[in-house]
Amino acid sequence: MDKIHLLDEGLINKIAAGEVIERPASVIKEFIENSIDAGSKKIAIDLREGGVSYIKISDDGEGMTPKDAKLCFERHATSKIKDTDDLFSIKTLGFRGEALASVAAVAKMMIQTRQEDETEGTRVIIEGGKLIGSEPIGCPKGTTIEVENLFYNTPARKKYLKSFSTELASIMDIVTRYAIINPQIHFSVNHNGKKTFSSPSCDMHSNLVNIFGLDTAGQMIIVEHSEDGISIKGYISRPPATRSDRSNQSIFINKRYVKNKVITDAVYDAYHTLLTVNRHPFVVLDIKIDPEKIDVNVHPTKIHIRVQSEDRLRKAVFDAIRNSLINSGLIVDLQESSFQDSAFPSIRQAKLDGSLSGRGSTSEYRPTSHRKYPVMTGSQTMLEGSEPLIAREKPIEPTKLDLPRFNVLGQVHRTYIIAEVEEGFYIIDQHVAHERILYERFMESVKNGKVRSQELISPARLELSQKDSLILKDNIDVFVNLGFDIEEFGDNSFVIRRSPIIQDKQLQKEDIMDILDDLLKDLSESISIDKKREKMLITMACRAAIKAGKILTEKEVHDLIADLMKTDNPFTCPHGRPVIIKMSLYELEKLFKRVQ
């Protein structure tokens, strides 16, 4: 019996829609791209319930004729390409003719549109991909599309949607990216009737100030570079103004927001030693490449692209970032001619021998002669029965857990502490060890209602991005509970009068930014107040803890280990990273082949 049959069109469209439209943010992305392709200067978005129940996007672009309005939601209907040549030199954001068809297949949709030279506009209603009605209508120039009940006919897909606030966060993420790269366009977002975002038309830097707040935007340096047919413009952060996650990095190729590892690797290579562990620069790069030299037709969402010459792109991005760091005096150019003859691989080489680090570098690794604390060398290997070579205080007696007695031998690479125990030795990461200590102490003081906090010498003003300010407003009670006195002070700005003290460090406004980054990462789950508080404590402990790369005195090392031993869990830091790694004598002997 024959078993193969052709699928009906509705089902084909639903399958195809799955690739393009995953969540409300995908609808917004596709619609914004269409509005930009239509030459709009104003894009207004209205949402209800994270865009799940309702999305409306209005633009003042070129609009569509009545005939086009009835055709645009058919699959493979596009005005942007005609033939194969066009496909390999894409100049618009869209070109696959799939987005409207995909949305139409999984939602109820209404399109209202008018071109400038027409007296009347058109309104079409589509349900389940089928045209239900169309009529002439008086409307302003441009296009408005409304989408109701996304995934109403694909319940399986609907189940995968997250909370409304998570869906809204993804929408805001995509709107923000397109607003960054299109300062000439006025974007606005209303959610459940409340103004959530607005970026009036202005120049690129004012746009960044508006979107990210003065605290972040004020720390940026300009990037302007062109080589090998690639032009790069944008802004990057000065090394001290880094963030704890990568979400503030936006790379655009020909105004398309892309994710590309070659480019991000080149950015990190260029910053090299200027970044400390787990710190990420703020990056906005507007890269222009001949459209014939890239392929954007890699995936239906068009977020990944293929580049003909990756090495050239990598080198251009590296040079662009490096030059602006050099020009702003943040690093010294020691490698003037290192990239001649397209010798990009030499970067990796240079990295290995450290020759790229220069003045002003906050490098974690300085020559060993800078060390103050004695360092273990090969000759200091402990021999059975011999006295340790480093003078030290009394062996530490652990108090909470049944751990063996320690003899602290010293600090290596200004990051790890080596402690000898009877049956081997421990390697302790000084940063995570301190994080664990501070976390437990701080947690204790929160539980007892005895958080230490202090007024700042002068109140600090916090100018946040629209996204960060929403999160802060939502969580202000938790901040207060942890010893902050923060008050809203107009649009996206706040005043901090008092902040908690952990160890002897008083938290500053940069610390608050990190706490916000961390809170944002967890928006995908609606977490309880207790969990939020715990997360904030972890970030605060991390900010206040001794950093890797800090030289410690003998007493500091000793106190640190003694304090660590008093914690409930000296083995892992609150982030779950190991604090102590144990190397037993047996393992050592195996490595040296003394035993089998």
Residue number with CB closer to Mg ion (273 or 297): 297
- Backbone dihedral angles phi then psi of residue 220, each to the nearest 5 degrees: -95, 150
> How many angstroms separate the most distant Cα atoms in the chain?
98
Closest contact distance (angstroms) between CB of 151 and Mg ion is 19
Binding-site partner at residue 434 among Mg ion, ligand ADP, none, CB < 5 to 8 Å by type: none
The residues pairing with 126 across neighbouring beta strands, listed in sequence order, are 109, 131
Residue number with CB closer to Mg ion (97 or 281): 97
Residue number with CB closer to ligand ADP (143 or 166): 143
With CB atoms as reference, the residue minimizing the distance to Mg ion is 94
Q: In 10 A of CB 522, how many CB atoms?
A: 13
Residue number with CB closer to ligand ADP (100 or 220): 100
Query: What would the x/- binding string for Mg ion be over residues 7 to 46, using CB under 5 A?
Result: ---------------------------x------------
The residues pairing with 429 across neighbouring beta strands, listed in sequence order, are 416
DSSP per-residue codes, 249-265: EEEEETTEEE--HHHHH
Binding-site partner at residue 59 among ligand ADP, Mg ion, none, CB < 5 to 8 Å by type: ligand ADP
Closest contact distance (angstroms) between CB of 170 and ligand ADP is 19
**DSSP state letter for 134:** E
Closest contact distance (angstroms) between CB of 37 and ligand ADP is 6
Which H or E run includes 131? strand 130-137
Q: In 10 A of CB 345, how many CB atoms?
A: 12
Residue number with CB closer to ligand ADP (143 or 469): 143
Residue that is written with structure tokens 């952990």 in the block? 502
Nearest by Cα to 25 from 158, 177, 169: 169
518, amino acid identity: D
Tokens read off for 94? 């869209």
With CB atoms as reference, the residue minimizing the distance to ligand ADP is 94
Residue number with CB closer to ligand ADP (79 or 201): 79
Binding-site partner at residue 45 among ligand ADP, Mg ion, none, CB < 5 to 8 Å by type: none
Please check whether residue 438 is in contact with residue 400, taking contact to mean a CB–CB distance below 8 angstroms. no
Residue number with CB closer to ligand ADP (105 or 320): 105
Tokens read off for 305? 């692209």
Residue number with CB closer to Mg ion (94 or 213): 94
Residue number with CB closer to ligand ADP (70 or 238): 70
3 state DSSP class of 529: helix
Closest contact distance (angstroms) between CB of 81 and ligand ADP is 8
Closest contact distance (angstroms) between CB of 94 and Mg ion is 3
Binding-site partner at residue 286 among ligand ADP, Mg ion, none, CB < 5 to 8 Å by type: none
Residue number with CB closer to Mg ion (304 or 405): 304
Number of residues binding to Mg ion, judged by CB under 5 A? 3
- Per CB under 5 A, 410 contacts Mg ion: no
Closest contact distance (angstroms) between CB of 252 and ligand ADP is 18
Tokens read off for 393? 């205080």
Task: Give the integer Cα–Cα distance in Å for 345 and 343.
Answer: 6
Determine the Cα angle at 306 with ends 301 and 307, to 5°.
Answer: 140
Binding-site partner at residue 78 among Mg ion, ligand ADP, none, CB < 5 to 8 Å by type: ligand ADP
Closest contact distance (angstroms) between CB of 69 and ligand ADP is 9
In the structure, how many helices (H) and strands (E) does the chain have?
A: 19, 23
Pairing of strands 424-429, 407-412: unpaired
Residue number with CB closer to ligand ADP (131 or 412): 131
- Per CB under 5 A, 101 contacts Mg ion: no
Residue number with CB closer to Mg ion (92 or 176): 92
- Per CB under 5 A, 296 contacts Mg ion: no
| From candidates 99, 356, 409, 433, binder to Mg ion by CB under 5 A | 99
Contact range with Mg ion by CB under 5 A, out of 89-97, 155-163, 471-479, 559-567: 89-97
| From candidates 24, 61, 66, 94, binder to Mg ion by CB under 5 A | 94
Closest contact distance (angstroms) between CB of 257 and ligand ADP is 15
Please check whether residue 506 is in contact with residue 456, taking contact to mean a CB–CB distance below 8 angstroms. yes
**Which residues touch 99 (CB under 8 Å, ≥6 apart)?**
20, 21, 30, 31, 33, 34
Task: Give the integer Cα–Cα distance in Å for 206 and 201.
Answer: 9
Closest contact distance (angstroms) between CB of 9 and ligand ADP is 16
The residues pairing with 494 across neighbouring beta strands, listed in sequence order, are 462, 488
Binding-site partner at residue 215 among ligand ADP, Mg ion, none, CB < 5 to 8 Å by type: none
Determine the Cα angle at 58 with ends 16 and 127, to 5°.
Answer: 40
Contact range with Mg ion by CB under 5 A, out of 46-54, 97-105, 260-268, 473-481: 97-105
Nearest by Cα to 21 from 130, 123, 161: 161
Closest contact distance (angstroms) between CB of 99 and Mg ion is 4
- Per CB under 5 A, 64 contacts Mg ion: no
Binding-site partner at residue 238 among ligand ADP, Mg ion, none, CB < 5 to 8 Å by type: none
- Per CB under 5 A, 244 contacts Mg ion: no
Binding-site partner at residue 198 among ligand ADP, Mg ion, none, CB < 5 to 8 Å by type: none
Q: Which residues of 450-470 are buried (b: 16+ CB within 10 A; e: fewer)?
A: ebebeebeeebebbbbbbbbb
Nearest by Cα to 423 from 580, 589, 593, 596: 589
Residue number with CB closer to ligand ADP (26 or 492): 26
Closest contact distance (angstroms) between CB of 198 and Mg ion is 24
Closest contact distance (angstroms) between CB of 11 and ligand ADP is 19
Q: How many Cα atoms sit within 13 Å of 534 on the Cβ side?
A: 8
Closest contact distance (angstroms) between CB of 288 and ligand ADP is 21
Residue number with CB closer to Mg ion (68 or 364): 68
C-alpha pair distances (Å), 222 with each of 114, 204, 283, 440, 531 = 40, 11, 10, 42, 39
DSSP per-residue codes, 266-306: HHHHHHGGGSPTT-B--EEEEEE--GGGEE-TTSTT----E
**DSSP state letter for 582:** E
Tokens read off for 445? 């003081």
Closest contact distance (angstroms) between CB of 160 and ligand ADP is 23
Positions in the binding site for ligand ADP (CB under 6 A) = 30, 34-35, 38, 59, 61-64, 72, 77-80, 94-101, 143
Task: Give the integer Cα–Cα distance in Å for 147 and 586.
Answer: 67
Footprint on this chain of Mg ion (rule: CB under 5 A):
34, 94, 99
